[in-house]
Every structure is written in C-alpha cells, then in structure tokens.
Structure 1
Amino acid sequence: MSAAVLGFVGVGVMGEGMCSNLLHKSGCPVHVADLNAEAVARLAAQGAVASSLEGLRQSVHTVFLSLPSIDQVEAVCLGTGGLIVEGGSIRTVVDMSTSDVPRTRALAAKLAERGVNFLDAPVARSREAARNGTLLITVGGDAALFEAVAPQLRCMGSDVLHCGGVGAGQVVKIMNNMVLLSTVHALAEAMAIAEAAGVDKALLANVLRLGSADSFALRLTGEKYLARDDFPEKLFPTAYALKDLKLALGLAHASGIRPTVAEAAADLLGQAADQGYAMSYYPVVYRLIRPSPQA
C-alpha cells in the first residue's frame, strides 16, 4: 500500500471509528476535517493530522466522506470553500455516506468534468462494526478505481463489495436499510402484541432467535433495545432512518413500484419524529405501537 496522503471528512458516530481504522491500518498519513473539534482532537491524539477543507484540498490525493446526506456531500465537494478547486491536489472522492442515487450520479459527472474520480461506498452494520473495522461496504464506480481504493476500504470493512457503476453501491445500501427498518417495524409490532397478550417481550425475543424468525435485526436491535424499551440518542436516530427509507421510496416510485411494507415503516418513523423522538434510536417506534397505559 502506498504512502499517499489521505483525507477524511466527517468523524461522527460512524466516521470516527472508520477514520481511526484507516489511520492505523493503511500505512498512510490521514488528514481529518470536521466541525466537531473534539472528535478531530481524539483522532489527532492517535496520529492523524487535524486539518480543514482548505487544508485537505491542498494536501491530499484521495478523500473519504462520511456525512449525513447528499446535501452535505455536495456542499463539501463543490460548495463555497469546498474540496474541489482548480489546482487542488484531490483526484479521488469516496463518498461513504448514504446518499440520494440520482444526485450521487450527477455529482460524479460534475467531478469527472473537473478531472476528479468518484466512488460511492456507503457502509452498513453498527457503530461497533465501525470501531472494529468490520463494516459492510458496498461500492459503485469504475472497476479499476475500485481495485485501487479497495485496500484502504478494507481497513474499515471486512466485506467490501463492488456492486457496479456509480450509484450501485448506494442502491444496494439503501435496499439493505429498507429491509432492516421494515424488519424492525415488524419486531416492534410483535413485541407490542406479545406484551399486550401477557408474554414478556424479552422472552419473545429469545424464542424468536431460536426459530426461523432469527435475524441480525433481532439480535442487535430486538434483544438489546426493543426488549428493554431502551432507545438512546447518538445511535442511528429516527430522523436518519426516515431519510434512508425516503431514499428507498424514491427509487421504488421512480420505477413504478409501490413498496407497501416500506411505506408503512416510513409512516411510523415520521410519526415518531413528529412526537419528539427524531434523535432517539429508531426502534423507538415501538412506543407508538404498544397500547397506552390507559388502554
């Protein structure tokens, strides 16, 4: 692996662990920029170089982005004070955010006009997986470019898969989240029904794990959070889950498909956000399903 200088923008809940693994495993200097100075300082204490967008555009060749949505990705790349400027050093942008597919493809085209390569490489699995370097990373873009960047992606993920042209990585990730969020919706309903019928929801979760209803969603979300009625902030919040489902619905509707299961899950997430749960861990939808104490 070459000692090329790398950049990383966005070191939040997922990005901090991802950047740490890139720093320790790639053998390359990593320059970091984020609005959260404390997160940047923690990475600098591990050997990263604290920087800014201006600093990155003059010093790094490949930059990885882990941002909330395509809005931030577009602004960081091409907005005022953004990364891509004439005479800058950046030649490859790797967007590891979960982003809108048509806008991702449009951004890739704009960057290509400026001589900059682009991969979409969104990540799946948990914050713990980000810390452990065991993420699933689904990648869209030129196959040769994927092969060039794959060693760095494998610093952050145990499963790194090329899914096709630009945008294909986003499609696969969005479908992954659509299935996960719809499954958790079903789990929340099952636990609310069981509890209302006099069966402990933690017992239900344990039994489901032993049968054909077992799943990653059950083991991660059902047992640890739904069964305990515990939905902390700073995990994958309702607002982010709703954003991802809306991306899935957009793809479906553009294809003339009506995804009724995903639509129901999105509606419930929207209700949860409206009721003050926007920043709570998204399985909090359980609280909207269960009978009220007065029922």
Structure 2
Amino acid sequence: MNQYQQIGFIGLGVMGGPMCTNLVRKSALPVHVFDTSAEALQRLTQAGAIAQDSIAEVARNVDVVFLSLPSIDQVETVCAQLRGAGDRLRVIVDMSTSDVARTRALAESLAQDGIAYVDAPVARTAEAAVKGTLLIAVGGSEALFESIRPLLACMGSDILHCGDVGAGQMVKILNNMMVFMTVNALSEIITIGRRAGLKGDVLFDMLSKGSADSFVLRNHGMKSMALDTFPEKVFPLVYAIKDAGLALTLAKQGDFSPRIAQYTYDVMCKARDAGFGQNYHPAIVQIVDGRAGANAQSAA
C-alpha cells in the first residue's frame, strides 16, 4: 500500500460509512473524510478518520479518494470540486453505481488534468459492508487495479477486475437488475402460495432447500418479503429504480428490448408512486399481490 500515503473518502452513508470504517481500521493509513452529514462525520472520526471541512480540503490532503454517492450526478459534481483543488490527488475511485457512458466521459475528462479514474461499484448488502465482505467490480487499467487492490480488499472479500473503465459499472448494473427481476419473480410465487393457503415464511424456507434456492430468496425473500418488513434506509426503492433504469439504458444501447427487466422496472415505479419509494425495494410485493396502500404487516 506504499504507493498511496494519504487516503480520502467522500460519502459516508448506509454503505459508504461502514466501508470507510473498514478502510480506516485495516489500511493503517490516514483516511480523510467528508460528508454533508455532521453525524456521519462524527461516527467516522470516532473510528479514527480525519474529518475535513470540504471536498476541496480532502483533495488537498490525499493521493487517492474513494467516492460512495447516490448517482453519477453527485459524482460529477464532486469530481469537479476535486479536480480544482490542487495537484496532489492522482486517483479517484468511484464506488457508486453510475451511468456507463458518463463514467467513461468523466474518466477521459479527468485524465486531461492528470487524474486517473476507476469505477469500482459494490454489490451485496449493508451487512456485508459492515463485515468487509462486499463484492467489488472494478473497471480500469490493470496497473491501476493492482495499485488500489490492497485498499479495496479492506472493504471487500471478492475484488474483480472486469475490464477498462465502465466495465465495473456494467457488471454491477446487471447484477442489480438480476436481483430486481428475482425479487419480482419471488413476489409472484409468494402471492400464489399465500392465496393457496401457504404462509410466506414456510414457503420460502421450503424453497430454500431445493433447486429454487438463491441468495435473493434467502436474503430479500426470507428476511423481508415473507415477513412483510420493508424498512427505510436499506437500499430504498428509488435507488433500485435508478439502477434498473441504467440497465435498461445499457440494453437500449445494445439495440435490445428486454421484457422481464422492463416489466420489473414498471412494477417498481408503480410501488414508488404508491408511496413506497423510501422503503426497502422488495416492497414491490405489495403491488404484485394487490395490497398497495393497505397495511403491509397483515399478510405474513
């Protein structure tokens, strides 16, 4: 890790906060942090990070900075402030889920200022972020990948080099779209089962013992859908819609019109419009089974 002496991290939310905490604890390097939330900053300083007053101040103190932000809109805004803060910063690593074309355009633009850009979006749950067992899909040159790999290993257990800039985003976007489509399929299965007289938790437990088993069944299905528990601040539906939209854009660019992905996206939009936008995204089951707007705790 000697190639980088000072690390930055911007975006300390549900995923970014625990990711940065692991970076602080495992890297043995100073980690300079910024977030618009004073509470988030306080949590990280208590973990050993160095709080900075602005994005520019982070850039002036670090060799490499990691971003964990809601979308490419925020990434572009933050990068504009980073690039104008001096000449120390050499590498930006975007761990958000972002649009592929805009990611590549941003990388080309930053290269003109001598700043290398790597996309490294993360997959798996908030629990995995806490445990440091995330899947991290990386897009960038082989040399850059190898240089940041030890730092990424502080946050994830599976670090994949997917190809050039943008390839990491493609893998992450398609991973998430597969999750959303599976949640949609599970929504139909649990609805059929419940209407036939099966309890949702019993049904999913039985399915997990056979060939229908999957991570999504055991995590999203058994822990959320079967219990009708869809809390806020756990990958909300609006974030899922954003990622699904990126997948559909990718499909359009490849001259392909997916049916299942499009239908799933439409269902998620209906759930958002029904008031579940900030709830954990498996809340779409309430649209699929017709309970939208009813007490979601009544059918477990």
In structure 1, runs of 5+ residues without a counterpart are none
CA deviations 1:228-258 (Å, max 9, x no partner) are 0110001010000000000000000110111
Q: In the alignment, residue 185 of structure 1 is paired with which amino acid?
A: N
Per-residue CA distance 1:184-237 (angstroms, 9 max, x = gap): 110011111111111111111001101111000011110010000110001010
Corresponding residue SS for 2:58: helix
Question: 2: distance between equivalents of 1:138 and 1:87?
Answer: 29
What is the deviation of 1:87? 3.0
Structure 1 residues 1-295: aligned runs within 5 Å? 1-2=1-2, 4-51=5-52, 52-78=54-80, 82-85=81-84, 87-292=86-291
- The 8 Å contact of residues 56 and 85 in structure 2, kept in 1 or not, is answered as no
Instruction: Compute the displacement of 1:57 (Å).
Output: 1.6
SS in structure 2 at match of 1:204? helix
Tell me how far apart the structure 1 counterparts of residues 144 and 76 of structure 2 sit (CA, whole Å).
Answer: 21
Report SS of the residue matched to 2:57. helix
1:45 match: secondary structure: helix
Give distance in 1, aligned partners of 2:29 and 2:290: 54
| Contact 1:137/1:157, CA 8 A, preserved across alignment | yes
State how far apart, in whole Å, the 2-side matches of 1:57 and 1:233 are: 32
Instruction: Return the letter of the residue paired with 1:23.
Output: V
Distance 1:86 1:221 in 2: 42
CA RMSD of superposed structures (Å): 1.0
- Cα deviation for residue 88 of structure 1 reads 3.1
TM-score by length of 2: 0.95
Q: Does structure 2 retain, via aligned residues, the 8 Å contact 1:192–1:291?
A: no
Cα distance change, pair 86–132 in 1 and its aligned pair in 2 (3 A) = closer
Q: Which runs of 4+ in 1 moved over 3 A?
A: none
Identity of aligned residues (%): 52
Rounded Cα–Cα distance in structure 2 between residues aligned with 1:48 and 1:86 = 20
For the residues of structure 2 that align with 1:66 and 1:41, how far apart are their CA atoms? Answer: 17
Aligned residues: 290
Distance 2:196 2:47 in 1: 52
Asked if structure 1 preserves the Cα contact closer than 8 Å seen for 2:60 and 2:85, the reply is no
CA distance in 2, matches of 1:106, 1:45: 37
**C-alpha contact 1:196 1:291 (8 A) present in aligned 2:** no
Task: Report deviation, 1:104.
Answer: 0.1
Instruction: Measure the CA separation in 2 of the matches of 1:71 and 1:172.
Output: 20
Whole-Å separation in 2 of the counterparts to 1:240 and 1:162: 25
Matches of 1:60 and 1:178 in 2, distance apart? 35
For residues 261 and 87 of structure 1, the distance between their equivalents in structure 2, rounded to whole angstroms, comes to: 47
Query: Residue 297 of structure 2 corresponds to which residue in structure 1?
Result: none
